[in-house]
Amino acid sequence: MHILVVEDQPKIASFVKKGLEEQGMVVDLCHDGDEGYDLAKTGSYDALVLDIMLPGRDGLSILRNIREQKNQVPVLLLTARDSLNERVEGLNLGADYYLTKPFYVEELTARLHTIVRRSSGQSLNVHNVEDLKVDLIKREVTRGEDSIDLTAREFELLEYLMRSPGRVLTRIQICEHVWNYHFDPQTNLIDVYIKRLRKKLDQPYELKLIQTVRGVGYRLGSKS
């Protein structure tokens, strides 16, 4: 799952990000409500984790605005205050769940799985972009009727791209999420693996799905 966490307390934010990533989730993190809203309204996330008390827009304002835009992404609210009125307001605005600090990351993870599964009419284990299909459980990749064999690292790279179709992912993001270390601007490792994926996934087909955004990174999806 691709999760956006908007939390202004660095220690809590780091704790949540690390815990969710250890459970196999892809996590984007920001500490400001205005930036969080800009990211949330892109529609590229499986769920949002919003702290209520934020600099800029607060969590309830973000929730209200995205619901007014008919964005039904699952939302889990975090707050340090055990206030019934605040909880009721959040639920009335369309929040899917509510956790009061402090909390266990295991509970947060379980609740995220629950609200995403409940809101989705399709399996979270299968991702589709055009005629490309990736089954995360069986670790199978197909394009149309063709089965495609990938190495473990190629599969991890494709999975990361598939979780955010249409979104530009920088080399730094790809390196940190797929290889789990800080990006070295001198390395061409990511470009090498993108080339390998293109050879297997794009070269034999008329519709090209892996796009280079010059000076930024890569994205997966057909050109509009």
Question: CA 26, CA 177: separation in Å to the nearest integer?
Answer: 7
pLDDT on residue 182: 66
pLDDT on residue 35: 95
Q: pTM, whole model, 2 decimals?
A: 0.57
Domains of the chain: 2-119 (3.40.50.2300), 126-220 (1.10.10.10)
Structure token pair of residue 144: 């149309």
SS3 for the chain is CEEEEECCCHHHHHHHHHHHHHCCCEEEEECCHHHHHHHHCCCCCCEEEEECCCCCCCHHHHHHHHHHCCCCCCEEEEECCCCHHHHHHHHHHCCCEEEECCCCHHHHHHHHHHHHHHHCCCCCCEEEECCEEEECCCCEEEECCEEECCCHHHHHHHHHHHCCCCCCEEHHHHHHHHHCCCCCCCCCHHHHHHHHHHHHHCCCCCCCCEEEECCCEEEECCCC
Angle ∠(42,11,82) on CA atoms, nearest 5: 80
pLDDT on residue 121: 53
pLDDT on residue 181: 66
First vs last C-alpha separation in the chain:
25
Question: CA 27, CA 4: separation in Å to the nearest integer?
Answer: 6
Q: pLDDT in tens for each of the 224 residues of the chain?
A: 899 999 999 999 999 999 998 888 899 999 999 999 999 988 789 899 999 989 999 999 999 999 999 888 999 999 876 666 777 788 888 998 888 888 888 889 888 988 887 776 555 567 888 999 998 778 899 999 999 999 999 998 998 888 778 888 888 888 877 876 666 767 788 999 999 999 999 999 999 999 999 888 999 987 65
| 55 preceded by a cis bond (ω within 30 of 0) | no
